[in-house]
Amino acid sequence: MQNLRALRRSRSLTFLDLAALTGIPARRLAEIEYGIRHLTAAERETLALVLGLAPSGFTGAHRRLTAAYARAAPAEQRALRTLMAAALAATLTTSAVNAGLADIRLPALPRPIAALLTRASAPAETAAPSGAAADASLAVSAPAAGALRSLATEPVAEDAALARLGRAIIKLRAALPEEPISPSLLVAPTPPESVAPPPLPVIEAAPPYVLTEAGPMGCPVAPSAGRVIITQGYGVGTHAPAELWGAIDLAVEGNSWYQPIVATHDGHVSVTLDSYPAGNHVWVNEPGGVWRTGYSHLAIVTVVSGQFVRAGEQIGLMGSSGLSSGPHLDYQVWRGSVNVDPTGLVGCR
């Protein structure tokens, strides 16, 4: 079972991104990941909805971290909470740098740490050990990360640990870049200059949403930026045989996660959550009973069964629920019991 940290990173989300999607404060999310706080039922439901999972399908903190904290003596737990607070402060600050925020401040630290910052500005008694950063989301130098790690492993008195912790925080602050950086998860490898990547198929300009004799015309994906592309055609691969599984897969260049999905015609909605293989799936049934369109693998559904929607109204957000290798929309068009090829109908930009 994956923990929240692994799920967040697999979707290339920072704490600030996940906080914006869920409404859960970024600091609370970080405390859950570090094992300081447990997930409430409401938080679990909200995170499950955004991540496209069942509420029981993930855990909060890493199992080994939680178990180690539970076995620790009270004095060790206090020292560990102090250490986690410092790591949390650096993590949230790095997320703010990555997001390009102009005014960056560390979250409020526990009073003992804040008081030690002045004391800790004096030269360290010994150089901090070097080593690879234990947390890839902390974009800091190896010596600064090593200083934090050593606090959790060496048996030192609590006062001495706090003093060294203050020095480590100053090193972490100094290691933050002046210019915004991109997390390694978001940086794609640069192809050799001599090898040009193959062009992606692009769908031409979209007509207005209109229901014609040929079917509903209009693009079911409405991104604020980026082009909509076809990643799998009608009746091939997982869409074969066409009469049963015929559909096209649509994605957005750059980032497909949580792109708005809209109805391509008026109709009443039928919702199925966590189905197989479609995941979170929506049918829009045309009032005349002739046409219906299907939208599969949604991360979030924003309508309920029985609701009437107009063409162009949002019904969900693009995701990767069900049998899916990545975020995309599986779009189907049916005329009665006949599966229709939607390739010439969508007209996406």
Query: 65-85 pLDDT, tens per residue?
Result: 556 556 666 766 666 666 655
Let me know if residue 262 belongs to a domain: yes
Q: How many residues does this entry show for the chain?
A: 349
Let me know if residue 193 belongs to a domain: no
The beta strands (E) that lie in 92-233 are given as 210-212, 215-217, 228-232
pLDDT in tens, 305-332: 999 999 999 999 999 999 999 999 999 9
CB atoms within 10 A of CB 134: 12
Residue 67 and residue 170 in one domain = yes
Let me know if residue 191 belongs to a domain: no
The CATH number of whichever domain residue 336 belongs to comes to 2.70.70.10
At 4, the pLDDT band (50, 70, 90 cuts) reads confident
Residue 102 and residue 180 in one domain = yes
Residue 117 and residue 22 in one domain = yes
pLDDT the model gives residue 47: 85
Residue 225 and residue 303 in one domain = yes
How much is the CA Rg of the chain, to the nearest whole Å? Answer: 25
Residue 298 and residue 339 in one domain = yes
- Residue 326 CA to residue 279 CA, distance in Å, equals 12
Tokens encoding 246: 């015929």
Residue 268 and residue 143 in one domain = no
- Residue 106 CA to residue 108 CA, distance in Å, equals 6
Residue 245 and residue 176 in one domain = no
From 152, 185, 218, give the residue that closes a domain.
185
Q: What residues have CB less than 8 Å from 331, skipping those under 6 apart? A: 220, 247, 248, 249, 250, 293, 294, 295, 296, 342, 346
DSSP state of 57: S
Let me know if residue 197 belongs to a domain: no
Let me know if residue 203 belongs to a domain: no
pLDDT the model gives residue 346: 93
Q: Are 337 and 346 in contact (CB under 8 A)?
A: no
In DSSP terms, which residues pair with 261 in a beta bridge?
221, 316
Average the pLDDT over 199-208 and give the result.
Answer: 64
- In which domain, by residue range, is 264 found? 210-346
From 118, 151, 185, give the residue that closes a domain.
185
pLDDT the model gives residue 184: 45
Residue 216 and residue 180 in one domain = no
Average pLDDT score over the chain = 74
Residue 229 and residue 87 in one domain = no
Let me know if residue 79 belongs to a domain: yes
Residue 31 and residue 148 in one domain = yes
Residue 154 and residue 87 in one domain = yes
Percent of all residues in the chain with a pLDDT value above 90, rounded to a whole number? 39
**What 3-state class would DSSP assign to 82?**
helix
Phi, psi of 133 (to 5 degrees): -65, 135
How many structural domains does the chain have?
A: 2
Let me know if residue 198 belongs to a domain: no
Residue 82 and residue 161 in one domain = yes
Let me know if residue 133 belongs to a domain: yes
